[in-house]
Amino acid sequence: MTGIKPFLHRLIDRKVSISPLVTFRVLFGLLMFASVVRFWTNGWIEKQYIEPSLHFKYFGFHWIPEPSTPGIYLLFILVGLSALGIALGLVYRLSTILFFLSFTYIELIDATYYLNHYYFVSLVGFLLIFMPAHRLHSLDVRFGLTKSTTKVPAGYISLIKFQLTIVYLFAGIAKLNADWLLHAMPLALWLPAQDHLPIIGPFMKLEITPYLMSWAGAIYDLTIPFLLIISRTRTLAYLMVIAFHLMTWWFFQIGMFPFIMIGATLIFFSPAFHERVQSWLLSDKSIVSAPHAHPVSIRSWALFPAACFILFQVAFPFRYLSYDGNPFWHEQGYRYGWRVMLIEKAGYAQFKVVNGRGQKIEVDNKDFLTPVQEKMMSTQPDFMIQYAKILKNHYKSIGVDVAAVNADVHVTLNGRSSKPYIKPEVDLAAQVDSWQPKTWILPFES
């Protein structure tokens, strides 16, 4: 017992320098702003939110209304401005709330674009609402909207470190499977496609390279949070963070995520490091030496929701264990689990709308879905149910007496030959999406 209390004190109550939190706030805000600019200039607002005639929903969030065209642009403007607000520490509380709500809302519009790193951003956005990250080096302090402080309870910083640790650890745990470790899949499919790269290109086609990278990746994910926590290994670990994320960014089409992680993991560095960087950047020693006359403390009631959050983060990714079979195949309990870069999966789904007399309409997916939506739908069972219901309604509305909606679906996973994915006779439109096992998914053949 004697060990626990000081440990919790060190982790939660102990007053520590606010500076790591300030760095985190500024980098997170700037990276989110850059993400919005990138997304916009790539034309993705239009491609992902305006061009599609329908959107796939998240379980439990079917009620999310689809914004109008000006509405979606306004949402992105809101994300961008609130991200800047976070970076500058301007009307911080409002900025964090608006950022969390607008970003999460955009994500919830269409599950097609689900990425673990968007989920991560939503979680961090949520946590920042409750953090005093604007109490130093912020416009709020300069304008007198809040009192500056140099010390905050360690709990805030610990919580962010915890969240980052969760991301890495679960990504590492997910790699502990035969495809990844014994067959180097899917890297054995992805790396040879990079053989055109300068210098490293020739190594990409060596048989051993995907094995080395698979194992290195698994070991990296499982150890890096601890190597970042331990001060003796921190600098080396951070160099590994930079090298690892830059490499994945160079190889794969993964957007801003590597930079978010490179920025976020700086929070593991010591207060002294952050203070030095901040005072050098601001060349203003006076702010650094601001009095901590207005200390922040964690109210005891806040510990309960924080504990719930932590418990949820630890437990929720494991829900896939309640389903039989290979989660990479059936994808039940797959989302929000930090399973990243683990599968090369492609499918083709021929939907058939059947009328009362058994006559069929074969659906051309291009008539309803964008290429990305079709690609995602063809491997994800919950999308197939949603799509079947949409098709049923559509064909009913044009006068077809729809009796059932079937689909022939073929899926290839990690280089295996494509195989039938669901029972072709099942009426998908009659299925209800739930957390119950979807018995109409055919078993995985390894």
Q: Which is nearer to another protein, 65 or 207 (CB)?
A: 207
Residues 32-61 that bind another protein (CB under 8 A): 42, 44, 47-48
Q: By C-beta, is 42 or 434 nearer to another protein?
A: 42
**Is there a contact between 86 and 29 (Cβ–Cβ < 8 Å)?**
yes
- The size of the interface with another protein (CB under 8 A), counted in residues, is 72
CB of 282 to another protein, least distance (A): 32
Part of the chain binding another protein (CB under 8 A), chosen from 53-61, 98-106, 213-221, 312-320: 213-221
**Tokens describing residue 76:** 């992105």
| Stretch of residues binding another protein (CB under 8 A), selected from 121-129, 248-256, 304-312, 324-332 | 248-256
Residue number, 140 or 344, with CB nearest to another protein: 344
Q: Of 9, 10, 62, 205, which one interacts with another protein (CB under 8 A)? A: 205
The binding track of 146-175 with respect to another protein, each residue x by CB under 8 A or -, is -------------------------x----
Tell me the CA end-to-end span of the chain in Å, nearest whole number. 48
Which one among 58, 73, 215, 316 touches another protein, defined by CB under 8 A? Answer: 215
| Nearest alpha-carbon partner for 329 in 173, 172, 441 | 441
From candidates 177, 270, 279, 412, binder to another protein by CB under 8 A: 412
Of 191, 369, 390, 441, the one binding another protein by CB under 8 A: 191
Q: How far is the CB of 97 from another protein (least distance, A)?
A: 26
Q: Of 250-269, which residues contact another protein (CB under 8 A)?
A: 252-258, 261
Please give the residues from 384 up to 403 whose contact with another protein meets the rule CB under 8 A.
Answer: 400
Q: Report the distance separating Cα 16 and Cα 130, nearest Å.
A: 17
Q: How far apart are CA 380 and CA 386, in angstroms?
A: 10
Span of 9-17, 154-162, 325-333, 409-417 interacting with another protein by CB under 8 A: 409-417
Q: How far is the CB of 109 from another protein (least distance, A)?
A: 14
One-letter amino acid identity for 288? V
Among residues 40, 126, 130, 211, the one that binds another protein under rule CB under 8 A = 211
Closest CB 70 distance from another protein, rounded Å: 23
* Backbone φ, ψ for residue 444 (5° rounding): -75, 130
195 binds another protein (CB under 8 A): yes
Q: Using alpha carbons, select from 426, 395, 434, 432 the residue that is nearest to residue 409.
A: 426
- Closer to another protein by CB, 60 or 202: give it: 202
For the CA atoms of 249, 254, 257, 261, the dihedral, rounded to the nearest 10 degrees, stands at -40
CA gap 212, 204 in Å, rounded? 11
Which segments of 268-355 does DSSP mark as H helices, in order?
271-282, 285-288, 303-315, 327-330
Task: Name which position in 415, 430, 439, 443 contacts another protein (CB under 8 A).
Answer: 415
Smallest distance, another protein to C-beta of residue 248, A:
6
Under the binding rule (CB under 8 A), the answer on residue 438 touching another protein is no
Residues 342-381 that bind another protein (CB under 8 A): 344-348, 350, 355, 359-364, 366, 371-372, 375
DSSP per-residue string spanning 127-192: HHHTS-TTSSSSHHHHTTSS---SEEEHHHHHHHHHHHHHHHHHHHHHT-SHHHHHS-TTHHHHSG
Per CB under 8 A, contacts with another protein among 82-121 are 113, 115-117
Give the range of 11-19, 75-83, 181-189, 437-445 binding another protein by CB under 8 A. Answer: 181-189
Cβ(160)–Cβ(16) below 8 Å: no
Residue length of the chain = 446
Q: Which amino acid is at 317?
A: P
Applying CB under 8 A, does 308 fall inside the site for another protein? no
Q: Write the DSSP string, 48-68.
A: IIIS-SS----TT-TTPPPPP
SS3 439: coil
Single residue of 219, 243, 281, 311 touching another protein by CB under 8 A: 219
| Interface with another protein (CB under 8 A), residue from 208, 315, 321, 398 | 208
Which residue type sits at 330? Answer: H
Can you list the alpha helix ranges (DSSP code H) found in 64-149?
69-88, 92-109, 116-129, 139-142
**Alpha-carbon distance 316 to 119, whole Å?**
13
For residue 62, the SS3 value is coil
**Cβ contact 99:89 at 8 Å:** no
Select from 283, 286, 300, 417 the one that contacts another protein (CB under 8 A). Answer: 417
Strand partners, 15: 153
* Interface pattern 321-340 for another protein (x via CB under 8 A): ------------------xx
DSSP 443: P
Stretch that binds another protein, among 57-65, 129-137, 210-218, 279-287 (CB under 8 A): 210-218
Token pair recorded at residue 348: 């083709």
